[in-house]
């Protein structure tokens, strides 16, 4: 059977090994074959003058066979196949329902999926009609809008409204009502799009139900009644200015504006019942059409979207934010605007006593001030401070009293031995991401002590750029963790082997009973290939013997140093074999080894012979014979990678004497 609902397909599986085939959009070539076959059944192919418009039509169909067949059937019924006819049809897709029996049939099929939705999901889906065609809608933006309008229902299991909103989003994806895009490492979609055919349907239904009023780019206001509940300004044209002025803002609960309509922005004082004010993506930096003077007077406001609006009057922003004392969610990007403004922002945050979620991208001294002078409200649920350029020096002490916090994502300069335990004792913490700045190869491996009752509710744990292996978590800790990410240094394994240890890693993943996915960042700096592969093998063994057989992703960092070290060791063996010759020809050495990697061009056999004598290249008879037979007019390139105890001045001397053409010079000094 076929279905648009993933849950239906799962229910039809009679055994665990049954396979659900997920339909994917047709490729461009297959879409064209299906499209042209319907319109030109005799195999004549598409005329050249129609190729451009046909590509545009297929782009709107998005590889959906039903859409392709429906549109192709419309065109096939035309007696004349003209470019103007095709463009007329192209322009009608996504502008409302096209009057055709075939289109009506397709809309009926899509309507089945819509009417099968629960009532709360119907409202959530209709909300998507505020966005233009092909618009990329951020998941978080959408969920917060749903919450602000009251479409997300509180559950009895104690989960947050945002988590429930994520379930709504995933349900619409599973039912193929929205298309997920920008998938992250955990398999979650960061954004979505609405297929043009689905957008046609929900725009039609929204207009019929007076759910959303859209001012679009063809000068029409899609509204069936005078009362406007939710307004979307997508474009500004001369034709639409007159009817726009007749609308009243008194009953508007949701207002969304896009950049082309920025000159139609009404005064904020005209909104009395507004819950959602979404101006994301509108360049308001130099606009005289908008100011924040009346934001503090919007008593019913639940969502204020100012992302990428480029507002540059920071003092006004901070002053107005201070008035929003009941603000629950704040996401802000704060660049280096000066110490005075940093202090003003921290003081402003201190007045937001109802704040539940803070997502701050800060640079400069703002985070330092927050670490010392900010005390978050006890109601804080989520704190995210992403970006390694903006980090706390250490884990802030104000983390400890946050008994309701469920998500922490931050960068710190130093992870102290007790920091992991502090996070593990937070009773409501479900997701933690602790990332360290700086170089992991210079960091001392800390011995973290974690109790057996740590991370009791956590389901996702990320420890990045410092060594924090699963074995440090005793049995009883992390009982619900499904996703675990940690970092390892392959060099540590090499050192252990050098000190007489077997080098076998005991990762102790077996006592994490809920583990489903593991992600390991393997730092390869200074490590041998055998050491890197040994660590990788140990990680794979740990996941293979785990009862859940979790999926594993291993990412190597700085793996180019593995190859360099292997080349170094190989060349060093050659150097040792010719140690006597080197002593005679080398200048005085440093108290260490200088590693040289050089690309040189040699155009005669004598150059090669001289390099072999001083130890830069091996005395390769085959290479020398090849140079001899080719004559002096043929050039050959060599890459030299060697340890050589010599001063750089001596190297420059050799290059100048032999007149070598140096294409690349890479020097690393190991003392």
What pLDDT is attached to residue 562? 64
pLDDT band at 402 (very low <50, low <70, confident <90, very high): very high
Residues contacting 548, CB < 8 A, separation 6+: 513, 514, 515, 516
Which residues does residue 255 pair with via DSSP β-bridges, in sequence order? 231, 277
Please report, to the nearest 10 degrees, the dihedral formed by the alpha carbons of residues 216, 220, 222, 228 taken in order: 90
Among residues 136, 171, 199, which one ends one of the domains? 199
Query: If you search the block for the tokens 């609960």, which residue do you land on?
Result: 253
What pLDDT is attached to residue 605? 46
What pLDDT is attached to residue 437? 85
Span 41-67, average pLDDT: 75
Among residues 182, 199, 216, which one ends one of the domains? 199
Q: Are residues 70 and 150 in the same domain?
A: no
What pLDDT is attached to residue 19? 65
The answer as to whether 339 is a domain residue is: no
Q: Are residues 127 and 161 in the same domain?
A: yes
What pLDDT is attached to residue 149? 93
Among residues 138, 170, 199, which one ends one of the domains? 199
Whose CA is closest to 458, among 440, 489, 434? 434
Q: Tell which wins on pLDDT, 575 or 418.
A: 418
Q: Are residues 626 and 655 in the same domain?
A: yes
Whose CA is closest to 366, among 396, 387, 395, 335? 335
Residue 272 has pLDDT above 60, yes or no: yes
Q: Are residues 81 and 134 in the same domain?
A: no
Q: Are residues 573 and 664 in the same domain?
A: yes
How many contiguous H segments (helices) and E segments (strands) does the chain have?
Answer: 22, 21
Beta strands in 426-492 (DSSP E): 431-436, 460-467, 483-489
The answer as to whether 70 is a domain residue is: yes
Structurally, how many domains does the chain consist of? 3
Helix (H) or strand (E) holding 384: strand 382-385
pLDDT band at 561 (very low <50, low <70, confident <90, very high): low
pLDDT band at 533 (very low <50, low <70, confident <90, very high): confident
Residue 247 has pLDDT above 80, yes or no: no
Q: Are residues 155 and 76 in the same domain?
A: no
Q: Are residues 630 and 571 in the same domain?
A: yes
What pLDDT is attached to residue 504? 61
What pLDDT is attached to residue 23? 64
Span 19-46, average pLDDT: 74
Burial, 92: exposed, middle or buried (Cβ in 10 Å; 0-12, 13-18, 19+)?
Answer: middle
pLDDT band at 136 (very low <50, low <70, confident <90, very high): very high
Whose CA is closest to 294, among 320, 318, 333? 320
pLDDT band at 549 (very low <50, low <70, confident <90, very high): very high
Q: ∠115-121-124 over CA atoms, to 5°?
A: 120
**Range with the lowest mean pLDDT among 340-344, 407-411, 545-549?**
340-344
Task: Count how many residues are written for the chain.
Answer: 671
Q: ∠558-413-462 over CA atoms, to 5°?
A: 65
Residue 457 has pLDDT above 80, yes or no: yes
Q: Are residues 70 and 141 in the same domain?
A: no
Q: Which domain holds residue 41?
A: 22-93
Which range of 159-163, 580-584, 657-661 scores highest in mean pLDDT? It is 159-163
The answer as to whether 576 is a domain residue is: yes
Q: Which letter does DSSP use for residue 474 in this model? A: -
Q: Tell which wins on pLDDT, 328 or 60.
A: 328
Residue 214 has pLDDT above 50, yes or no: yes
The answer as to whether 623 is a domain residue is: yes
CATH number for the domain spanning 137: value is 1.10.10
Q: Tell which wins on pLDDT, 307 or 218.
A: 307
Q: Are 97 and 103 in contact (CB under 8 A)?
A: yes
What pLDDT is attached to residue 123? 94
What pLDDT is attached to residue 421? 93
Residue 563 has pLDDT above 70, yes or no: no
What pLDDT is attached to residue 93? 59
Burial, 170: exposed, middle or buried (Cβ in 10 Å; 0-12, 13-18, 19+)?
Answer: middle
Considering the chain, what percentage of its residues have pLDDT values greater than 90?
23
Q: Tell which wins on pLDDT, 624 or 438.
A: 438
Q: Are residues 582 and 640 in the same domain?
A: yes
The answer as to whether 265 is a domain residue is: no
pLDDT band at 152 (very low <50, low <70, confident <90, very high): very high
Q: Are residues 580 and 648 in the same domain?
A: yes
Residue 596 has pLDDT above 50, yes or no: no
**Range with the lowest mean pLDDT among 149-153, 549-553, 559-563?**
559-563
The answer as to whether 1 is a domain residue is: no
Q: Are residues 144 and 190 in the same domain?
A: yes
Phi, psi at 230, each rounded to 5°: -135, 125
**Range with the lowest mean pLDDT among 152-161, 174-183, 239-248, 615-624?**
615-624
pLDDT band at 419 (very low <50, low <70, confident <90, very high): very high
Span 169-179, average pLDDT: 88
Residue 138 has pLDDT above 90, yes or no: yes
Residue 246 has pLDDT above 70, yes or no: no
The answer as to whether 345 is a domain residue is: no
Provide the 10 A C-beta neighbour count for residue 491: 20
Q: Which letter does DSSP use for residue 488 in this model? A: E
What pLDDT is attached to residue 307? 85
Q: Are residues 581 and 640 in the same domain?
A: yes
The answer as to whether 164 is a domain residue is: yes
- Report the C-alpha gap between 168 and 170 in whole angstroms: 5
Q: Model-level pTM?
A: 0.62
Q: Are 222 and 197 in contact (CB under 8 A)?
A: no
Span 456-478, average pLDDT: 88
Angle between helices 48-61 and 28-39 (to 10 degrees): 120
């Amino acid at each position: 059977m076929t279905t648009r609902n993933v849950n239906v397909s799962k229910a039809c599986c009679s055994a665990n090994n049954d396979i659900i085939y997920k339909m994917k959009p047709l490729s461009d070539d297959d879409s064209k074959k299906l499209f042209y076959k319907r319109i030109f059944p005799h195999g004549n192919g598409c005329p050249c003058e129609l190729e451009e418009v046909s590509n545009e039509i297929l782009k709107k169909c998005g590889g959906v066979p039903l859409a392709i067949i429906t549109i192709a059937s419309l065109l096939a019924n035309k007696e004349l196949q003209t470019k103007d006819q095709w463009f007329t049809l192209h322009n009608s897709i996504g502008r409302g329902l096209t009057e055709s029996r075939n289109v009506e049939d397709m809309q009926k099929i899509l309507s089945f999926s819509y009417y099968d939705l629960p009532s709360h999901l119907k409202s959530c889906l209709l909300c998507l009609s505020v966005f233009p065609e092909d618009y990329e809608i951020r998941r978080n933006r959408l969920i917060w809008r749903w919450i602000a309008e009251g479409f997300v229902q509180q559950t009895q299991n104690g989960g947050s409204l945002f988590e429930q909103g994520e379930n709504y989003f995933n349900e619409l994806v599973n039912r193929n009502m929205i298309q997920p895009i920008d998938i992250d490492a955990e398999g979650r979609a960061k954004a979505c799009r609405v297929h043009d055919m689905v957008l046609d349907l929900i725009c039609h239904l929204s207009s019929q139900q007076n759910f959303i009023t859209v001012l679009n780019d063809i000068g029409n206001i899609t509204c069936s009644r005078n009362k406007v509940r939710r307004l979307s300004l997508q474009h500004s044209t001369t034709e639409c200015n007159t009817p726009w002025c007749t609308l009243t803002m008194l009953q508007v609960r949701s207002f969304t504006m896009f950049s082309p309509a920025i000159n139609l922005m009404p005064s904020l004082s005209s909104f009395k019942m507004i819950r959602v004010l979404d101006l994301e993506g509108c360049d308001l930096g130099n606009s005289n059409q908008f100011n924040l003077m009346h934001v503090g007077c919007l008593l019913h406001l639940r969502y204020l979207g100012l992302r990428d609006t480029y507002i540059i009057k920071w003092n006004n922003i901070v002053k107005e934010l201070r008035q929003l004392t009941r603000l629950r969610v704040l996401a802000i990007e704060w660049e280096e605007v000066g110490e005075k403004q940093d202090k003003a922002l921290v003081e402003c945050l201190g007045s937001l006593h109802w704040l539940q979620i803070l997502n701050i991208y800060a640079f400069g001294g703002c985070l330092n001030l927050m670490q010392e002078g900010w005390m978050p409200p006890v109601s804080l649920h989520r704190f995210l401070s992403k970006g390694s350029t903006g980090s706390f020096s250490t884990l802030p002490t104000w983390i400890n009293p946050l008994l309701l916090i469920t998500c922490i994502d931050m960068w710190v300069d130093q992870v102290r031995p007790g920091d992991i335990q502090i996070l593990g004792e937070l009773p409501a913490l479900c997701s933690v991401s602790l990332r360290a700045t700086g170089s992991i190869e210079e960091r001392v491996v800390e011995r973290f002590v974690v109790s057996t009752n740590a991370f009791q509710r956590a389901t996702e744990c990320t420890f990045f750029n410092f060594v924090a292996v699963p074995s440090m978590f005793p049995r009883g800790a992390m009982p619900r963790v499904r996703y675990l990410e940690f970092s390892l240094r392959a060099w540590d394994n090499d050192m252990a082997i050098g000190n007489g240890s077997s080098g076998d890693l005991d990762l102790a993943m077996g006592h994490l009973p809920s583990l489903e996915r593991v992600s390991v960042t393997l730092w390869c700096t200074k490590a041998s290939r055998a050491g890197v592969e040994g660590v990788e093998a140990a990680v794979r063994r740990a996941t293979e013997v785990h009862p859940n057989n979790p999926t594993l992703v291993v990412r190597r960092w700085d793996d180019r140093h593995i190859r360099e070290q292997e080349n170094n060791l190989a060349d060093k063996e050659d150097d040792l074999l010719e140690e006597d010759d080197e002593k005679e020809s080398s200048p005085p050495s440093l108290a260490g080894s200088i590693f040289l990697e050089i690309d040189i061009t040699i155009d005669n056999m004598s150059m090669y012979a001289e390099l072999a004598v001083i130890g830069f290249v091996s005395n390769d008879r085959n290479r020398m014979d090849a140079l001899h037979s080719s004559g002096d007019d043929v050039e050959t390139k060599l890459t030299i990678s060697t340890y050589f105890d010599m001063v750089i001045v001596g190297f420059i001397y050799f290059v100048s004497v032999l007149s070598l053409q140096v294409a690349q010079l890479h020097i690393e000094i190991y003392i």
